[in-house]
């Protein structure tokens, strides 16, 4: 029996078609019979609980700062008050927008609110009111930060990340107009969460396998015994994987586990 760690967005959810494909669902159901499945995501727990026709109760959420086993939280590592204050001071100095991602809501900068107010809901997103103005922040635990800035401030953005990278983890996702990064406390990542679970005695690391497509999945690739990258993923992510499958839109998830002989 293996413990299989599965990214959600871009791995089992095809955002180009706003759905999970039938063969992906088939593969998940078959894998669940003889393996322990964990959904590993940057989403918070409430937004990660997707309806796939059968129960998966194990989750690594918010990039590893929340772990749920059998539906119960067994580990958390939110930002401390001091860490948030340090990041806020630096982002203010560099003109960078910051968003707090908490268990029930994300409290957004003006820039993030403008970006998210008219967007199409993510597939299986459970609360449509997740994104809230920063002025409504109620002091809830912050499990992940999101920083962003425009192309005209990229030098300050890069300077900020360089200055803070010894104390925080950054997973960047950048295009020509928007520079954005997920931020976690140091040593908080999907990969670290997997190691935490192993140290709890739930499995041995040689029993692990993971699959993902984005920069925040690299930490899983680095610790799991075997790693799979989705075909549409970033090139530098695919370079870190043991095997590269097809795109999510072309049944890449199903094909990967068919190739490994784990499903029929």
Distance CA 38, CA 76 (A): 16
Banded model confidence at residue 45, pLDDT cuts 50, 70, 90: confident
Residue 7 has pLDDT above 70, yes or no: yes
Distance CA 142, CA 182 (A): 13
Q: Which SS3 state, helix, strand or coil, does residue 249 take?
A: helix
Distance CA 183, CA 98 (A): 10
Return the sign of the alpha-carbon dihedral for residues 132, 137, 139, 143: positive
Residue 128 has pLDDT above 90, yes or no: no
Q: Which of 246, 251, 216, 218 is nearest to 232 (CA)?
A: 246
- Mean pLDDT is highest, among 12-21, 41-50, 59-68, 118-127, for 59-68
- Give the mean model confidence (pLDDT) for residues 221-233: 97
Which strand (E) or helix (H) includes residue 48? helix 45-48
Q: What is the pLDDT of residue 109?
A: 81
Q: What is the pLDDT of residue 214?
A: 93
- Give the mean model confidence (pLDDT) for residues 259-263: 97
Residue 175 has pLDDT above 70, yes or no: no
| Better-scored residue on pLDDT, 106 or 145 | 145
Q: What is the pLDDT of residue 131?
A: 82
């Amino acid at each position: 029996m293996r413990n299989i760690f599965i990214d959600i967005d871009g791995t089992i959810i095809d955002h180009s078609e706003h759905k999970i494909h039938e063969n992906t669902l088939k593969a998940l159901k078959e894998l669940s019979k003889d393996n322990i499945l964990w959904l590993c995501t940057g989403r918070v727990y409430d937004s990660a609980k997707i309806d796939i026709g059968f129960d998966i109760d194990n989750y690594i959420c918010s990039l590893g700062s929340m772990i749920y086993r059998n539906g119960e939280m067994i580990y958390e590592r939110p930002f401390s008050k001091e860490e948030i204050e340090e990041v806020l001071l630096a982002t203010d100095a560099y003109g960078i927008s910051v968003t707090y991602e908490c268990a029930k809501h994300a409290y957004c900068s003006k820039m993030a609110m403008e970006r998210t107010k008219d967007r199409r809901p993510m597939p299986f997103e459970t609360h449509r009111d997740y994104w809230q103005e920063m002025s409504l922040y109620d002091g809830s635990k912050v499990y992940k930060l999101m920083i962003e800035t425009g192309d005209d401030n990229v030098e300050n953005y890069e300077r900020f990340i360089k200055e803070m990278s010894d104390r925080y983890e950054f997973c960047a996702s950048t295009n020509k107009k928007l520079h954005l990064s997920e931020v976690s406390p140091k040593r908080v990542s999907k990969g670290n969460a997997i190691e935490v679970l192993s140290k709890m005695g739930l499995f041995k690391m040689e029993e692990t396998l993971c699959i993902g497509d984005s920069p925040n999945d690299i930490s899983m690739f680095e610790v799991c015994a075997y790693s799979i990258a989705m075909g549409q993923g970033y090139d530098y992510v695919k370079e870190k994987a043991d095997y590269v499958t097809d795109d999510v839109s072309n049944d890449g998830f199903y094909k990967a586990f068919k190739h490994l002989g784990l499903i029929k």
